[in-house]
Amino acid sequence: MPLTREEIEEIVGRALAEDLGRDDVTTEALIPREQCGVAFLVVKEEGVLAGMQLATEVFRQVDPQLQVEVLLQDGARVVPGARVARVAGSVAGILKSERVALNFLQHLSGIATETARYVASAEGLPVRIVDTRKTTPGLRALQKYAVRVGGGDNHRMDLADGILIKDNHLAALRKQGLTIKEAVARARQHAPSSLREIPIESGRRGDLQSGRAPLEVEVRTVAEALEAVEAGADIVMLDNMSLDDMRRAVKSIGGRAVVEASGGITLHNVRAVAETGVGLISVGTLTHSVKAVDISLELEVQ
């Protein structure tokens, strides 16, 4: 997991406070505290599992006496009927934990599963599928972890992770009379010396100048792409370009910078985009609108 034990405990604690509120009044009214049982977390569709550590922590916080046995680990390819965990102990504790544990598992498994589909679609081509910052507030680290479980890679974790000059930056600078070249020069001049490298170099970290913060520029035309490369950009993001323009941009750049495709990427066109020769494909839907994997809790009362 990308988080410390303390951070995981805090995230799960917040989720439980949100769901349990003052208490589970239904369970308290109906289920004797001494009643025990066994429950299995069961997958209902094919996918890639992610979030087991979060689910386990949910059960632990609700009732430390619950015995949780993890049957499948994150990254496992699951099929309908697969049991991923066994929980034994207080029925009341199991029921109070159910929804939050499933929420983490379903959502993160959905991200891992969708990422795996994109990665498989581009299999055999020298390209990496990366995520974006289009994440659920407060859950970014978890969602980006799920992308990695699915075989993808992470773009910037936050705004301090690298310089990315986007269209609105350029629009504001053009009002000041600055060109892309001048924007890149200004960013280089004012970049903090402590800026760490962004982890999206597509296996080409050696191409980036040692000791210099990698800098990315978002462009919408082939001409802008060439201007960005000639200005010294390390990464050029081709935003919502046609396949023909992507191919032209990649050919014109000629390996002088890492090329990233972004905008309008779907499972239907991701391979065609990869075949243009780009090194990175960023996909916002991996985190901002993914479908959850169907996972349920099946209780066996003793």
Domain ranges, ordered by start, for the chain: 5-114+291-301, 119-288
The model's confidence at residue 211, banded by pLDDT at 50, 70 and 90, is very low
Q: CA dist 180 to 200, 215, 225, Å?
A: 22, 12, 10
CA-based radius of gyration for the chain: 23
Q: CA dist 191 to 91, 182, 186, 201, 212, Å?
A: 56, 14, 8, 19, 9
Of the listed ranges 56-60, 159-163, 265-269, the least confidently predicted one is 159-163
Query: pLDDT tens across 118-131, in order?
Result: 999 999 999 999 99
Among residues 76, 142, 138, 68, the alpha carbon closest in space to that of 98 is found at 68
**Marked catalytic residue, from 161, 201, 218, 227:** 218
Measure the CA–CA gap between 127 and 2, rounded to whole angstroms.
24
Residue 205 DSSP symbol: G
**Marked catalytic residue, from 134, 181, 186, 188:** 134
Q: With contact defined as beta carbons under 8 Å apart, do 48 and 149 qualify?
A: yes
* pLDDT, greater one: 204 or 278: 278
Helix (H) or strand (E) holding 226: helix 222-230
Of the listed ranges 124-133, 188-197, 205-214, 292-301, the least confidently predicted one is 205-214
Task: Give the tokens for residue 142.
Answer: 């978890």
**In terms of DSSP bridges, do strands 295-301 and 36-43 run parallel, antiparallel, or are they unpaired?**
antiparallel
Average pLDDT over residues 150-176: 94
Q: pLDDT exceeding 90 applies to what percent of the chain?
A: 87
Is the pLDDT at 106 greater than 50? The verdict is: yes
* Residue 218 known to be catalytic: yes
* pLDDT, greater one: 193 or 159: 159
**Marked catalytic residue, from 14, 33, 77, 166:** 166
* Residue 239 known to be catalytic: yes
Measure the CA–CA gap between 277 and 262, rounded to whole angstroms.
13
**Marked catalytic residue, from 44, 99, 186, 248:** 99
Q: pLDDT exceeding 70 applies to what percent of the chain?
A: 93
Q: With contact defined as beta carbons under 8 Å apart, do 245 and 238 qualify?
A: yes
Average pLDDT score over the chain = 92
196: left (phi over 0), alpha (psi -120 to 50) or beta: beta
Measure the CA–CA gap between 152 and 143, rounded to whole angstroms.
11
The residues with which 89 forms a beta bridge, in sequence order, are 37
The CATH number, out of the four listed (3.60.20.10, 3.40.640.10, 3.40.50.2020, 3.20.20.70), of the domain defined by the range 119-288: 3.20.20.70
Model pLDDT, residue 212:
55
Query: pLDDT tens across 234-287, in order?
Result: 999 999 999 999 999 999 999 999 999 999 999 999 999 999 999 999 999 999
Task: Give the tokens for residue 159.
Answer: 């705004």
**Marked catalytic residue, from 57, 131, 239, 260:** 239
Q: How many CB atoms lie within 10 A of CB 93?
A: 22
Model pLDDT, residue 3:
82
Q: What CATH fold (topology level) applies to the domain 5-114+291-301? A: Aldehyde Oxidoreductase; domain 3 (3.90.1170)
Query: pLDDT tens across 3-56, in order?
Result: 889 999 999 999 999 999 889 999 999 999 899 999 999 999 999 999 999 999
Model pLDDT, residue 199:
46
* Residue 134 known to be catalytic: yes
Model pLDDT, residue 145:
96
CA pseudo-torsion sign 137, 142, 145, 151? negative
Is the pLDDT at 233 greater than 50? The verdict is: yes
